[in-house]
Structure 1
């Protein structure tokens, strides 16, 4: 699902409260109406929008009462800083996904698949919850450090420039991309824009070109 659509959908407090309720148990319209303190008609309208987005589904029991429940897991991440704004939504990966080699900068102690007994499943749940909390803390730490490093780079590059883009160009050069084309491929930008950035950085004495290749001067 497009992250902008998801943000618009979840911008409504009542829809967020409906999802909080359904995360605990399936509910029918009257239950949701009483929980929210709004009319059943309003609840039906919110549920329709959640259904259209694919977040909620319904089933009918033997008494023909329609129960609503969350249909799938989605993670929404929003990043707001002085250097950019971004939002992305993602569906959970398959439990069979091989994590080896996928996170070279992070050591993740993923629990081995359990034998299905109650005690081992409970232990696995506790381990995964701890891991989730640790990853959330690590993400906040990285975001803070990223902003700090960009602040310091901004002091060196100059506040009048597109410091985030220039910083990404510098990072590409520092990690071995020596030509404008290879830097452009790394930062996913037009070669002409990268060439202008490299020229501006060269004017500031931060990079230099030697035999058609770029190098950081320090």
Structure 2
């Protein structure tokens, strides 16, 4: 059981930087208020006097979404959507300590960070162009099929755990109160993505260790080292 990007993804996006962290033993009782405040303050400083669309991390995703045929202001990468809401409202809603932590780190780095409940994933999880027959469950439990060629996180059962690459995760594998084992994925395409994703991945791993007193495993994925074991 592996997480990986397909060869087609590495070929189409040679500048992609991807970091993954697998963690066991998380729960919904941890307190992450101090961490959320710290990373939110970093985001607020970065946004001072400008908007999220000015950040190089977001500009790279906008270019990529446009190249994939998506209007960037209609379909935003997850970090842009978070930053936009944070800039307008001053904070993000609290959902679950792990999600709150990942969202705050995503704000600080302006990089999309996904958190997937591995108990809801069947077999390998691959970031790849969709065939179009995959099933995607929204957070309101509606079922959709991605467009052929759209980038999805697809498992061996044909379930799409994310649509439009970094735009929207599935409600099916979202972290919830009973979640214990999680895969955290960070992806970026800007000029300093490799350095920034390495730092982000280490940050996530360090915070998980400190908060849940667990020992995560992590890796940086490349075209020549694209697979990460999930078991």
Classify the TM-score, shorter chain: under 0.3
- TM-score w.r.t. length of structure 1: 0.22
Which structure has more strand as a fraction of its residues?
Answer: 2
Answer with 1 or 2: which has the greater Rg: 1
- TM-score w.r.t. length of structure 2: 0.21
Which structure has more helix as a fraction of its residues?
Answer: 1
